[in-house]
Amino acid sequence: MITADQFVELLNRFPRVSSECIPLDAALSRILSEDVVAFENLPEQARSTVDGYAVKAEDTFGASDAIPALLEIIEPVLMGTIPEYTLNPGQAAPIPTGGFLPRGADAVVMVEYTNKAGADSVEITKPVTLLTNVLEKGEDAKSGERLLQSGMRLRFQDIGFLAAAGFPEVTVYRKPKVAILSSGDEVVPIGQKPRSGQIRDANGHALVALVREAGSEPVLFDIVPDNASMLRNALEAALSQSDVTVISGGSSVGARDLMKGAVSDIAGAEILAHGIAIRPGKPTLLANRTGKAIFGLPGHPVSALIVAQAFLVPFLHYLMGTGLQKGPIGHRIDVTLTTSIHSTIGLEEYVRIFIEKKSNGECEAYPIYGKSGMLSTMVKANGILVIPMNVEGFSRGETVQAVQL
């Protein structure tokens, strides 16, 4: 039996997936596999941030309502072009928000601080200093500057920035393909009516959703009966089509032995771990076949899903270029326990909890107990609490960190 930390170390040795170039509109939530460097200035020249008049700032010094500066109106700036003329001292060019400043102009006076004085002149009633209301050349992004860093997850604003900077495509880590297999003589597909004594494949579909939520691409395989050679063949097929293979087997000792045997029988497969000092999830198996991970999840649905949350999801993020996080991914918040929770020394324990936000802003947490086959406990929970291996539990009233799910 290995510890949870040792398990994470084993996961940390797998190679990351390769990268691919995809259209920008498909890149939301994907992880950059290389830095993005600006190839031009943004903006290319100085632009106005207001509606008004482009001027030389020094022409407005001392201007006021009582003694306005009088400037000659020249050709207006149009959107979509950079003016070709030069603005001379004593001149003002009408400019819309976003318009490019003519050569010679170095500030913009807002229209609110101007009065037309006949057809060709304008009064400026408030002085501006150099670059007032101006977005300078390269102020948003300088040519050669790193805009976004490799390893970052793209948010909508990053997509907008990449669009502005001229990247219709972007290079990101591939989505890992994850083969999902459920095994067990008693398991039937969800579309099928189970005969008496059979159960539906809950694990398979929950794992499809979990893998998708982790930004990876699930492939659900047919259900495999409890038969050594059929299990081995199914695993071989899964390995050939995926980056990661996840199999959830029966929870009985016999079914676990069968799964371990099938994995051992695969040419080139090495079992790295069978048994982790965690609860639930102790019988979890991890194997490596030429750089591809095989997760053998416990058969109990709750145990399988908690192990997947705590280890598979961070592993998928890691494969896509992030650092490998230990424990479930999610927002971490402080919760106060409404009851004491006991834990066994020597096992890292994952406790499903219900987090309730009180009117004073504090969060209270209630553990949700239930037998390990009960999926309803996972549905009732909105958080998880990790009790470290060397801790006997937490006391009622204690404030601890939990992960919101």
Q: Is the dihedral of CA 165, 167, 168, 172 positive or negative?
A: negative
Only one residue has tokens 């400019």, namely 95
Q: Which of 22, 70, 389, 405: binder of a second copy (CB under 8 A)?
A: 405
- Least distance to a second copy from the beta carbon of 50, Å? 9
- Is 274 a binding residue for a second copy by CB under 8 A? The answer is no
- Least distance to a second copy from the beta carbon of 37, Å? 14
Q: Which of 207, 272, 285, 402: binder of a second copy (CB under 8 A)?
A: 207
Q: What is the CA radius of gyration of the chain?
A: 31
Distance CA 140, CA 138 (A): 6
Which of 298, 206, 208, 304 shows the shortest CA–CA distance to 251?
Answer: 298
Torsion of CA 61, 64, 69, 71, to 10 degrees: 110
Looking at the Cβ atoms of 56 and 300, the one nearer to a second copy is 300
- Least distance to a second copy from the beta carbon of 195, Å? 8
Site for a second copy in 119-138 (CB under 8 A): 135
Looking at the Cβ atoms of 8 and 154, the one nearer to a second copy is 154
Looking at the Cβ atoms of 127 and 249, the one nearer to a second copy is 249
Q: Which of 25, 35, 72, 257: binder of a second copy (CB under 8 A)?
A: 25
- Is 385 a binding residue for a second copy by CB under 8 A? The answer is no
Looking at the Cβ atoms of 338 and 372, the one nearer to a second copy is 372
Site for a second copy in 335-364 (CB under 8 A): none
Looking at the Cβ atoms of 70 and 219, the one nearer to a second copy is 219
Q: Which secondary-structure segment (H or E) carries 4?
A: helix 4-11
Q: Which of 96, 104, 151, 393: binder of a second copy (CB under 8 A)?
A: 96
- Is 157 a binding residue for a second copy by CB under 8 A? The answer is yes
- Please tell me whether residue 9 adopts helix, strand or coil conformation: helix
- Least distance to a second copy from the beta carbon of 383, Å? 12
Q: Is the dihedral of CA 238, 243, 248, 253 positive or negative?
A: positive
Q: Which of 116, 212, 342, 396: binder of a second copy (CB under 8 A)?
A: 212
179, 235 Cβ separation under 8 angstroms: no
Looking at the Cβ atoms of 9 and 112, the one nearer to a second copy is 112
Q: How many residues of this chain interact with a second copy, rule: CB under 8 A? A: 91
Site for a second copy in 233-272 (CB under 8 A): 250-255
Distance CA 247, CA 259 (A): 9
- Is 21 a binding residue for a second copy by CB under 8 A? The answer is no
- Judged by CB under 8 A, the stretch of 1-9, 98-106, 120-128, 273-281 that binds a second copy is 98-106
Looking at the Cβ atoms of 278 and 305, the one nearer to a second copy is 305
Looking at the Cβ atoms of 375 and 391, the one nearer to a second copy is 375
CB atoms near residue 171 (< 10 Å): 17
Binding mask 174-203 toward a second copy (x if CB under 8 A, else -) reads: ----------xxx---xx-xx-xxxxxxxx
Distance CA 167, CA 74 (A): 37
96, 80 Cβ separation under 8 angstroms: no
Distance CA 132, CA 212 (A): 48
Site for a second copy in 282-341 (CB under 8 A): 299-301, 305, 331
Which of 118, 251, 126, 257 shows the shortest CA–CA distance to 184?
Answer: 251
Q: Which of 99, 102, 215, 321: binder of a second copy (CB under 8 A)?
A: 99
Q: What's the Cα-to-Cα distance from 198 to each of 192, 256, 300, rounded to whole Å?
A: 10, 19, 15
Cβ neighbors of 297 (< 8 A, separation 6 or more) are 203, 246, 247, 248, 249, 281, 284, 303, 304, 307, 308
